[in-house]
Amino acid sequence: MKALLALLCALPLAAWAQTFRSNEHSFRLTRVVEGLEQPWSVAFLPDGRMLIAEKAGRLRVVSKGVLDPNPVAGLPEVTVHGQGGLQDVVLHPDFSRNSLIYVSYAARGSDGVGTELARGRLVGNRLDDVQVLFRQSPKGSRGQHFGGRIVFDRGGYLYLTLGDRGEMARAQRPDDHAGSVIRLHDDGRVPKDNPFVGRPGWRPEKFTLGNRNMQGAALHPSSGMLWTHEHGPQGGDEVNVMRAGANYGWPVVTYGANYGTGTKIGEGTHKEGMQQPIHYWVPSIAPSGMAFYTGDKFARWKGDLFVGALRDQMLVRLKLDGEKVVSEERLLKGVLGRIRDVRVGPDGLIYLLTDERFGALARLEPLP
């Protein structure tokens, strides 16, 4: 009976596998796990298991291609509100020693709902010693633009992306966390060299300002710089390099326009003292999730930047020359659905999560 059940479970996945040819590699697309509810992010544990965050507030474990029906216990309380819910899950850089994982999520407070950051020690199938390290302030009533990506840099500093919460003017306010990248020590303390520390009226956690809604973030494999992408309005999705104290312009400058009317937002596309994106999309692709390819399975993709797209349901590959995009290739359009997360696994393969009610984890595997 067990053998029959295993065969029945394996058949849909094997039957689903498809092959594709890109400009530089042929690959097979295989569905690894199904039955996920709006998965948002995936992290790889040293023992080969994977953690998958579902927007509804569940952290799931995948072991040897099997989804554990019991979620990880002990998470902080998650509020599902519009686009917000459980978002990113990331391992501490020294996880093998301390077993710490970090999660970003939407949470309710006295002034509404906003993004928070917590960490806990993964013990078996639960989180122990959970601590809330950061709470966005002020929060808000709207259901848009929670950001939520977490990245550690080579110095051990933690970065958290925050959207403007659907209130565009907040991205330019010094006393508001919204529309910023936040930089912290791994225990939530504010680094003394943060760019706005000691400036009256500024939130000391802020590392940048003028960002709309960053749902992709990754560390450049050569420079060690933090790269992000963010949703524009009607057009104007951007890829940016995050620099301490920089203003990325939203909503004063943008390549996008107002929804529906197409009318102008702000003052145009350029303004002195505000950063220009290194790449942008018009019309919008609704980017979410991003990763630099650092593995050894796709040699000709080494160093390329991969971006998931929700609106056009595709995977975008950007070929880079330093901080310049020299070419763009669009893969898997309409094949998987809305791609929410993109990660390179420790096996050198590329993993994708689909933001669907019946979502899946899929994998790109090279063909000879």
Give the confidence band of 16 by pLDDT, cuts at 50, 70, 90. low
Residue 76 lies in a domain: yes
Sign of CA dihedral 307, 356, 179, 51: negative
pLDDT tens digit sequence for 228-272: 999 999 999 999 999 999 999 999 999 999 998 999 999 999 999
Q: Which domain, by its residues, includes 66?
A: 16-366
Q: Is residue 76 within 8 Å of residue 105, measured between CB atoms?
A: yes
**Which one-letter DSSP state was computed for residue 301?**
G
Which of the four pLDDT bands, split at 50, 70 and 90, describes residue 38? Answer: very high
Over range 291-300, report the average pLDDT. Answer: 97
- pLDDT tens for 154-179 read 999 999 999 999 999 999 999 999 99
| Alpha carbon of residue 52 to chain centroid | 13
Give the pLDDT confidence of 264-287 residue by residue, as tens digits: 999 999 999 999 999 999 999 999
Note whether residue 26 is domain-resident. Answer: yes
CA 29 to chain centre: 21
Q: Give the integer Cα–Cα distance in Å for 191 and 181.
A: 14
- Residue written as token pair 């020359």: 321
- Residues in CB range of 137: below 8 A, 6 or more apart: 111, 114, 176, 177, 203
Residue 217: pLDDT over 90: yes
User: Catalytic residue numbers?
Assistant: 145
CA distances from 217 to 230, 306, 360 (A): 9, 11, 21
| Amino acid at residue number 284 | S
Rounded CA-CA distance 8/29 in Å is 20
pLDDT of residue 83: 97
What is the per-residue DSSP string for 303-362? T-EEEEETTTTEEEEEEEETTEEEEEEEESTTTS--EEEEEE-TTS-EEEEE-STTEEEE
| Domain-located, residue 78 | yes
Query: Which residue type, as a one-letter code, is found at position 298?
Result: F
Confidence of residue 302 (pLDDT cuts 50, 70, 90): very high
In a domain, 97, yes or no: yes
Mean pLDDT of 30-49: 97
Residue 2: inside a domain: no
DSSP characters for 109-175?
Answer: ETTEEEEEEEEEEEETTEEEEEEEEEE-SS--S--S-----EEE-TTS-EEEE---TT-GGGGG-TT
Copy the structure tokens of residue 149.
């990506």
Q: How far is CA 146 from CA 15, 162, 164, 214, in A?
A: 37, 6, 7, 8
Looking at residue 329, its pLDDT comes to 98
Helix, strand, coil tally for the chain in percent (to 5) = 5, 45, 50
Domain count, the chain: 1
Classify residue 229: in a domain, yes or no. Answer: yes
pTM: 0.95
Residue 11 has what pLDDT? 37
CATH classification of the domain holding 205 = 2.120.10.30
pLDDT confidence of residue 17: 83
Dihedral angle over CA of 300, 303, 304, 309, nearest 10: 130
Q: Which pLDDT does position 9 carry in this prediction?
A: 40
* Distance spanning both ends of the chain, measured CA to CA: 36
Neighbours of 56 (CB within 10 A): 14
